[in-house]
Structure 1
Amino acid sequence: MKDDIIYLVLLGLCIGFGNFYRKIQDPEQKKWIGTAAGLLVILSTSGFHTLHMLFCYLVCGLIIIFCNRKSCHMLSFAFMFGYLFLFRSVAYLCCEAPPGHSNMIQMVLTLKLVGLAFEVNTAYLKSKEIDRTKKDDSQDSLVEVLSDNEKALLKLDMLDILHYSFNYVGVLTGPYFTYKTFRDAIYLPFSTKADCYGATVEKLKVIPLYAGLFLLISYIWPLDYATSSEFYEERSFIYRLMYVWPTFFIFRMRIYTGILLSECVCTMAGLGAYPKGCENKCGHGPSKDFSSLISNPPEDNDYDFETVRNIDVINTEKCWTFREAMKYWNMCVQYWMAMYVYKRFPSKKYRTLATMAVSAIWHGVYAGYYFCICAAPFYLPVEDIYVKLFIKGATGTKLKILNVICWISKFFAFSYMGIAFLLLTIDKIWFYYGSVYHFPYIMWATLYIVGVLIAKSRKTKTN
């Protein structure tokens, strides 16, 4: 509870500070003030452990600038994820464990620095391709050119990396944003034109509801009860099995509250503000060229903050399938995982499992993260096969009923996997899963086998 209070207070201060920060006109001054505020946030939460973040910045910055840019992204990935594991393991080495918020700061810093290395690598490869094309093609007018942002990536220095790494916006809990998004917020006029205050208030309106539901439901159905002897001895199998529903509801309300507050830090500071016509995407930013809008920016009602939107609460709750719900959850981190793990993994067959494994490693060293996140690839084929067999092509009342069944199955799967994420340690997870006799996993395996048999039977009849 103490950590939650510190977290809320710091996010509140960061949101308020944004009203002053976004009005700073001089880019250099804006960068230094943002970095100073970010380092102050880190020092106030981490104290001596701030040295971990500074060391990572120093080493990874040197890798990005001085190592071969064909491989700097992989070296940065190996170093940052290796250090993240070491950072979380210091308690086992007879050292003082870092505070909880330090872990979140280190997680965000890992995504930023590794993502930056990948951005540099992409810009470098593009520059080499342009050089090769120029040599092979005499029609220079047709040759692609580097953008200003790509040129800046190839000329990075340690100060640039310092400002990106430790700017107060997102330093505590994210969301992840690219170096391009950060640079645009410093140099482009959009943050002064967008309705930053209105966008922030719109998000703040719903936060009391989520926070209130979190406090109420966690009081009625505490997580600790699921690992008590009374839970197993006095409660029925059905009660124990259904207990995952309120625990995952509590988790969702807490995550919704935290993520929306983090988004508010971005919106109040103006980071991630782009014209709507640019077709902005979460994490990525504009998918259309906006160079013509820089000198003549549109009015304040023509902007959005889609670039830093990290969660879509409405669609997470109301969509029918597990696969679809995954797309609306922690979207900026998912963008990072998709761009730098999924799309770059050499084996198409195992890229989903590899992405889930990296996600689990990023979340922490506890077994619960692996139980939860790495279980998803095994549930998805079950859902996919029944969607294909029964929902695809269904219409009318039948479709509505099947969608509701799929929705219940989706949240039950999330809830059952999610309780492992909350219980963390193997002994607690095994106690709970043992109390329900691992019934969901047995049920999903059986459903998959039955689904495969039905699919084969239909195929045989068709032939």
Structure 2
Amino acid sequence: MSPDELVYLGVLAGSIPIGLLFRHLSPPGKQGAALLLGLVITIATCWIHSLHSLVTILGTWIIIKCSWRHAPALSLGWTFLYLLFFRLATWFGLPSPTPFANAIQLLLTLKLVSLANEVQSFHLEKKKDVSSFSKSQVIGRLSHEPSLYDVISYSYCYVGLMTGPFFRYQTYADWLQQPSPQSLPCMEPCLQRLRLVPVYAALFLAVNAVFPLAYVLTDDFLEHNFFYRFFYMIAVFFVFRMRFYSAWCGAEAGCMTAGLGCYPEGALSKPGGGPTVQYSPEPGAAVVYDFKTVQNIDCYNTDFCVKVRHGMRYWNMTVQWWLHHYIYPNAPFKAYALRAGWTMLISAYWHGLHVGYYLSFLTIPLCIAAETAMEASVRSRLGPGGQSVFDWIHWFLKMRAYDYMCMGFVLLKAGDTIHYWSTIYFIIHVIAVACLVIGRVAKGKRREKKEGSEGEKQRDEREVKKEDVVREKAE
């Protein structure tokens, strides 16, 4: 493991036991201690680069105070433009930011855009309350506009500071105001979440040692046959998954010990978003709690869901919620595949400027279009047994598509990514295009057949009517 990875590991491991202490603090004490700890982590790992996050926070706060009505769009533009400046800092003679500063900046961008949307919603609902003389029933509505201290405290809260998960300001405010945090579940969900982390970590270390990424770029790699080169991306994506499974499960455990994101099951919470319904348990009734709000990974469904589009739902789930609520609805397209492409483009930009991100993320819409075409034209014609076989083949191709796209995500450079893809003859792109063409052709033939059968039916009806007319005349 690299020194940076050891620091991440230390932050993750330390946040789990520290979270237990926050259950004993009052709301002001909890807010101040979480802020202080977050600032210590930020300054210790980022040093002078901590100013990037502070400037971003102050800029967003000024936007919210000056124009809450346009804050969502303005904050998105501000934070994303600052991301560009942050990544091109060396062009302006500034020192290159540390990886830790980059991680904090990424999560901060999500938080501040979400905050601007929450503040806008607060003001709009407040106006409705005044005009209708009734209290709004919007789920997760803010009770007041956050102060500058609140915004800074939320932004630098130590929970998920560098590793996620993303959570809304309302989730943070609910955490501060928990009436009896010590009575909420803690150790059982935490241990349940951590039970497979040693397995993930061991697999990560073992497989990474046997299949190092750097070997792909050597001349020796090209001497192996196609099947070895093809299998290598499967091993690389496996290492990639094990790494993030370990990190995100550990990050969720840190939220659990602190009690962040703990809501009754009846609130039907969503990862990233929090409760979706108003839930008031009956007096004296036992309440079951969950941590769905801070769930960032569903390891089983990531591996075993069938479709490419579903695979995105179970990976980095809180960020997917953010993209779905703040980017996807505002896409300048109506078609699902194009909207997905726009969302993936924004996601790629959020991750960084490396071309490998864009090559990977923009392959997803092609895969989605291909699977949609095949489902509509092929799967829909099959019986239960045929559909089961179709789904297994679909799952296999889905996993290979993610293996393929992962190579762009880890190799980063355009030349390195295209070089590797060329060694396996761009096979996933070829299969996706072939499936798309086959699906469209089959759908067209099906439509022609359907139109033909309808035409024959209409002709038969006309013949029957003619025979009836002739019969009536004869009678």
Normalised by the size of structure 2, how large is the TM-score? 0.90
- Give me the whole-angstrom Cα distance separating, in 2, the residues matched to 1:340 and 1:298: 37
The answer for the alignment partner of 2:30 in structure 1 is 30
Q: Structure 2 unaligned runs (5+)?
A: 452-475
The answer for the alignment partner of 2:300 in structure 1 is 314
- Give me the whole-angstrom Cα distance separating, in 2, the residues matched to 1:297 and 1:49: 51
TM-superposed CA distance for 1:148, in Å, is 10
The answer for the alignment partner of 1:281 in structure 2 is 270
TM-superposed CA distance for 1:291, in Å, is 5.3
Do structure 1's residue 96 and structure 2's residue 95 form an aligned pair?
Answer: yes
Contact preservation (8 Å) 2:139, 2:278: no
Which letter maps to 1:238? F
Q: What pairs with 1:3-402 in structure 2 (closer than 5 Å)?
A: 3-24=4-25, 26-64=26-64, 66-132=65-131, 134=132, 140=133, 143-145=134-136, 150=141, 152-153=143-144, 155-189=145-179, 191-232=181-222, 234-290=223-279, 299=286, 302-349=288-335, 350-392=338-380, 394-402=382-390
Contact preservation (8 Å) 1:382, 1:447: yes
TM-superposed CA distance for 1:125, in Å, is 2.2
Which letter maps to 1:114? V
Q: Structure 1 unaligned runs (5+)?
A: 135-139
- Give me the whole-angstrom Cα distance separating, in 2, the residues matched to 1:190 and 1:380: 46
Query: In the superposition, relative to structure 1, how do residues 215 and 148 fare at CA in structure 2: closer, same or farther (>3 Å)?
Result: closer
TM-superposition CA deviations, 1:439-461 (whole Å, max 9, x none)? 32123212211221111111211
Contact preservation (8 Å) 1:285, 1:306: yes
TM-superposed CA distance for 1:351, in Å, is 2.8
Do structure 1's residue 406 and structure 2's residue 394 form an aligned pair?
Answer: yes
TM-superposed CA distance for 1:5, in Å, is 0.7
TM-superposition CA deviations, 1:351-376 (whole Å, max 9, x none)? 32221111111111111111111210
- Give me the whole-angstrom Cα distance separating, in 2, the residues matched to 1:130 and 1:344: 27
Aligned residue for 1:235, secondary structure, equals: coil
Deviates more, 1:317-326 or 1:204-213: 317-326
- Give me the whole-angstrom Cα distance separating, in 2, the residues matched to 1:345 and 1:209: 40
Contact preservation (8 Å) 2:378, 2:442: no
Contact preservation (8 Å) 1:275, 1:298: no
Contact preservation (8 Å) 1:191, 1:273: no
The answer for the alignment partner of 1:436 in structure 2 is 424
- Give me the whole-angstrom Cα distance separating, in 1, the residues matched to 2:403 and 2:40: 37
- Give me the whole-angstrom Cα distance separating, in 2, the residues matched to 1:221 and 1:387: 35
| Two-structure CA RMSD over aligned residues (Å) | 2.0
Contact preservation (8 Å) 1:248, 1:418: yes
TM-superposed CA distance for 1:321, in Å, is 1.4
Contact preservation (8 Å) 1:41, 1:172: no
- Give me the whole-angstrom Cα distance separating, in 2, the residues matched to 1:86 and 1:372: 23
Which letter maps to 1:176? F
Query: In the superposition, relative to structure 1, how do residues 189 and 211 fare at CA in structure 2: closer, same or farther (>3 Å)?
Result: same
Contact preservation (8 Å) 2:376, 2:443: no
Aligned residue for 1:323, secondary structure, equals: helix
Which letter maps to 1:2? P
TM-superposition CA deviations, 1:8-37 (whole Å, max 9, x none)? 01111111110101221x211110001001
TM-superposed CA distance for 1:94, in Å, is 4.0
TM-superposed CA distance for 1:129, in Å, is 3.4
Query: In the superposition, relative to structure 1, how do residues 85 and 297 fare at CA in structure 2: closer, same or farther (>3 Å)?
Result: farther
Which letter maps to 2:258? A
TM-superposed CA distance for 1:124, in Å, is 1.8
Which letter maps to 2:255? C
Which letter maps to 1:84? L
Aligned residue for 1:283, secondary structure, equals: coil
- Give me the whole-angstrom Cα distance separating, in 2, the residues matched to 1:247 and 1:115: 33
Which letter maps to 1:412? R
Query: In the superposition, relative to structure 1, how do residues 453 and 412 fare at CA in structure 2: closer, same or farther (>3 Å)?
Result: same
Normalised by the size of structure 1, how large is the TM-score? 0.92
- Give me the whole-angstrom Cα distance separating, in 1, the residues matched to 2:348 and 2:233: 20
The answer for the alignment partner of 2:459 in structure 1 is none
- Give me the whole-angstrom Cα distance separating, in 2, the residues matched to 1:76 and 1:5: 33
Larger Rg: 2
- Give me the whole-angstrom Cα distance separating, in 1, the residues matched to 2:229 and 2:408: 14
TM-superposed CA distance for 1:126, in Å, is 2.3
Query: In the superposition, relative to structure 1, how do residues 36 and 393 fare at CA in structure 2: closer, same or farther (>3 Å)?
Result: farther
Identity %: 33
Aligned residues: 448
Contact preservation (8 Å) 1:104, 1:173: yes
Contact preservation (8 Å) 2:344, 2:361: yes
TM-superposition CA deviations, 1:187-240 (whole Å, max 9, x none)? 1236332211211111111101111111111111111111111112x1112322
The answer for the alignment partner of 1:137 in structure 2 is none
- Give me the whole-angstrom Cα distance separating, in 1, the residues matched to 2:76 and 2:108: 12
- Give me the whole-angstrom Cα distance separating, in 1, the residues matched to 2:350 and 2:179: 34
- Give me the whole-angstrom Cα distance separating, in 2, the residues matched to 1:215 and 1:231: 21
